[in-house]
Structure 1
Amino acid sequence: MADSISSDDVRKELEKQIAELRKEIGALGKSIADRGAETLERTREAASEAVDRARGRTRASFQQAREQAHAVTDAVKENPGTAATILSSAGIVGFVIGLFVGATLLGSERR
């Protein structure tokens, strides 16, 4: 009967296996948390770099727009008659386009 295993031995073995499983689950949880923290840090760094690049591009765009506005202002100061003619022509063309679109929309509503 030395070959028979007592229920106490089985219980102790199961408790030992459960304790080992708990340790492994704890280690896995820590590993997952560490990887999550690393991923979060990499994502933050990538987002920060993207914001910095966008900020640089925005500054360059604003600087270019400012320079073009100054160039237009200088051109208008040097040629006020030409500027007035161009702006008047643009206004008249816009007005004619507005009339055409309005008439077209009004005509399509009557149908």
Structure 2
Amino acid sequence: MADAANDIRADLEKQIADLKKEMSKISKSLASRASDAMDDAEEMFEDGKGRAGQAVARVRDQASAAVGAMRENPGTTATVLSTVGLLGLAAGMLLSGVLSGDRRR
């Protein structure tokens, strides 16, 4: 009986040692994958940062050109902005009438 208990104990200790080795392998594999994922994320961040900087520069250039055109043509600018404002007001009133008409029904 003692021999059977010793055999079971030895077998369990071997299984535990094997499980510890497997857990160590899995842990190393996960650490490697996490490191690779972090490197990929850093690369994507740097790429996105560069693209965002280029986009900001383009928008800044276009805004500067638009402001320059407005300063050169104040009468046209006022006309365009007034027209856009009046169209917005008309659209708002039209939508308001449509929406309030649905409530009455």
TM-score when normalising by structure 2: 0.90
Out of 20, 23, 26, the position equivalent to 1:26 is 20
**Computing the radius of gyration over CA atoms, which structure comes out larger, 1 or 2?**
1
Out of 78, 84, 99, the position equivalent to 2:72 is 78
CA RMSD of aligned residues (A): 1.3
Instruction: Give deviations 1:50-109, integer Å, cap 9, x for gaps.
Output: 211221121111111111110001101111111111111111111110110011111111
Specify every segment of 5 or more residues in structure 2 that has no aligned partner in the other structure, as ranges. Answer: none
Give the aligned length.
105
Q: Give yes or no for the alignment of 1:44 onto 2:27.
A: no
Out of 52, 57, 73, the position equivalent to 1:58 is 52
As a proportion of its length, which structure holds more helix?
A: 2
**Match of 1:4?**
none
Specify every segment of 5 or more residues in structure 1 that has no aligned partner in the other structure, as ranges. Answer: 1-6
Identity %: 27
2: CA distance between counterparts of 1:13 and 1:100? 89
